[in-house]
Amino acid sequence: MITIKNKAAISKMTVAGKLLSEILTDLKNVEMLGKSSADLDRIIELELKKRNLVSRTKGYMTYRHSSCISVNDEVVHGVPSEKRTFQNGDLVKVDVCASWNGYCADMARCFVVGQGERLAQIEKLVSVAEQALFAGASMAKAGGRLSDISAAVQQKVEAAGYGVVRDFAGHGIGKSMHEEPEVLNYGKAGQGPYLQAGMTIAIEPMITEGDYHVYVDKDGWTVKTVDQSWAAHVEDTILITNNGPVFLTRQ
């Protein structure tokens, strides 16, 4: 069942989104070079606590961390580790889901460490992931169909010559991190449930420089590309209204 959020739920999700976006936006001021993904996770954990945000990944199944940090050919669900130290030119994807007074926001952003030889290429990959998210979100309006979002994301990614990951998807969000519906990043427009004002969804394109096939690493979490091409991932939590999308994680 897709839940329609009332005013109270929407105002809590709005606060969750605003506080979470402060954290991820401020990460661009953090010197990544030489830090480990575990260091970055500790910074995020501290910032969540300061704002009374509760991590929803920590304690989710076997997951024990406040963020997912995925580097280069890791697409999503990278597990923070003391051993993973950021190098010049790395593409670091940070994904955090947290709740405020019981209501969640979910958000991911990309960061490039320093300046690698491939900086321009990587920035283009990240930019297309963002454009795909915006293209999908522009279809998130009452009266539209769920797969209008999916088709718009896929079109943007493939027009730029990149791959769109099929095995993971965006999702409804609210009291739980993952609610119905599943928001695919590919598909034909005009299908699936009708979108209604008060639905809240996380749109999160995962895109690859090469082939879109992925696998889960032996740690049981980290999703990597089969061909070792690099991937970008961006995510926003969005409220659907009669006048289009409201980005709860871009306030």
Q: Which residues bind ligand MF3 (CB under 6 A)?
A: 57, 60, 63, 68, 77, 95, 97, 106, 204, 221, 235
Q: Which is nearer to ligand MF3, 43 or 142 (CB)?
A: 43
The residue behind tokens 């991932």 is: 233
Instruction: Select 64 or 188, whichever has its Cβ closest to ligand MF3.
Output: 64
Number of residues counted as binding Co ion (CB under 5 A) = 2
Task: Decide which of ligand MF3, Co ion, none touches 209; Cβ closer than 5 to 8 Å per partner kind.
Answer: none
Q: How far is the CB of 249 from ligand MF3 (least distance, A)?
A: 11
The only residue of 75, 128, 140, 202 in contact with Co ion, by rule CB under 5 A: 202
**Least distance (Å) from ligand MF3 to the CB of residue 212?**
18
Out of ligand MF3, Co ion, none, what residue 63 binds, judged by CB under 5 to 8 A for its kind, is ligand MF3
Which of 47, 106, 179, 209 binds Co ion (CB under 5 A)? It is: 106
179 scored as a contact of Co ion (CB under 5 A): no
Q: For the CB of residue 190, give the shortest distance to Co ion in the complex, in Å.
A: 24
Smallest separation, CB 93 to ligand MF3 (Å): 11
Residues near Co ion, by CB under 5 A: 106, 202
